[in-house]
Amino acid sequence: MESKVAYDNDLNLKATELRLGLPGTDDREEQALFSARNNKRPLPDTSKECGSKKNSDAQHVDNETAPPAKAQIVGWPPIRSYRKNNLQPKKSDQAEAAGIYLKVSMDGAPYLRKIDLGIYKGYPELLKALESMFKFTIGEYSEREGYKGSEYAPTYEDKDGDWMLVGDVPWDMFMSSCKRLRIMKGSEARGLGCGV
């Protein structure tokens, strides 16, 4: 059976195509069209399906209609892998496949965990993930008093080997300087945050 794709040009699907922008705004239409096109699956799925898997693929991809600048596209920008791997060894650890994996220890826990810092967009997400991973609650953060209202304080070891309180510096700076995490408990924890 022939694909219907070949006849798309005659059917003027454009007139009935779902758009992401307001009607009548040409440039934005084009942008939206291109955003959709980046994911390379037509909104009306014209090709024959092979069961449900393909459908879910299409849906999954539609959900990722992020602006291209943020999404990492395979093979883009077109730089030789050799060059990408050899230019900035530190950077490539972060930007390439593996993400930023860091050890997380919790005082009193028998073994450590590892998290990928790269998947979090900021402190709230990170702290929530830690809370759920280790089944505890972190208190409220304030610049003056650190984490109030709980026995625990999330800390990290920075590039210079010093133990710092999580949350003091901007997220980007934290991402690039954090070497490992430790959730301190009890008196040690309280000592770090408050001035008392």
Partner 1 sequence: MNYFPDEVLEHVFDFLTSHRDRNAVSLVCSLWYRVERFSRQRVFIGNCYAISPEKLITRFPGLKSLTLKGKPHFADFNLVPYDWGGYVQPWIEALAKSRIGLEELRLKRMVVSDDSLELLSRSFANFKTLVLVSCEGFTTDGLAAIAANCRFLRELDLQENEIDDHSGHWLSCFPDSCTSLTSLNFACLKGEINLASLERLVARSPNLRSLRLNRAVPLETLQKILMRAPLLVDLGTGSYVHDPDSETYNKLKTTILKCKSIRNLSGFLEVAPRCLPAIFPICLNLTSLNLSYAAGIHGSELIKLIRHCAKLQRLWILDCIGDKGLEVVASTCNELQELRVFPSDPFGVGHDAVTENGLVAISIGCPKLHSLLYFCQQMTNAALITVARNCPNFIRFRLCILDPTRPDPVTMKPLDDGFGAIVQSCKLLRRLSLSGLLTDQVFLYIGMYAEQLEMLSVAFAGDSDKGMLYVLNGCKKLRKLEIRDCPFGNMALLSDVGKYETMRSLWMSSCEVTLWGCKTLAKVMPRLNVEIINEHDQMEICAEDGQRVEKMYLYRTLVGPRKDAPEFVWNL
What is the binding site for partner 1 (CB under 8 A)? 1-6, 8-9, 27, 30-31, 34-35, 37-38, 40, 47-48, 50-51, 53-54, 68-69, 72-84, 86-88, 91, 95
In the complex with partner 1, the residue whose CB is nearer, 5 or 112, is 5
Shortest distance in whole angstroms from residue 16 CB to partner 1: 16
In the complex with partner 1, the residue whose CB is nearer, 60 or 128, is 60
φ and ψ at 163, to 5 degrees?
-95, 120
Q: Rounded distance, CA 143 to CA 21, Å?
A: 42
In the complex with partner 1, the residue whose CB is nearer, 75 or 161, is 75
- DSSP at 74: T
DSSP helix, strand, coil percent of the chain (3-state; round to 5): 40, 15, 45
CA-based angle 30:14:5, to the nearest 5? 110
Shortest distance in whole angstroms from residue 184 CB to partner 1: 32
In the complex with partner 1, the residue whose CB is nearer, 70 or 144, is 70
Shortest distance in whole angstroms from residue 53 CB to partner 1: 7
The residues near 68 (Cβ < 8 Å, ≥ 6 apart) are 35, 38
Sign of CA dihedral 139, 143, 145, 109: positive
Shortest distance in whole angstroms from residue 10 CB to partner 1: 10
Shortest distance in whole angstroms from residue 142 CB to partner 1: 29
Q: Rounded distance, CA 106 to CA 183, Å?
A: 5
Shortest distance in whole angstroms from residue 47 CB to partner 1: 5
Residue 39 vs residues 42, 61, 64: alpha-carbon distances, Å: 9, 6, 8
Structure tokens at 154: 């999330």
In the complex with partner 1, the residue whose CB is nearer, 3 or 59, is 3
In the complex with partner 1, the residue whose CB is nearer, 73 or 196, is 73
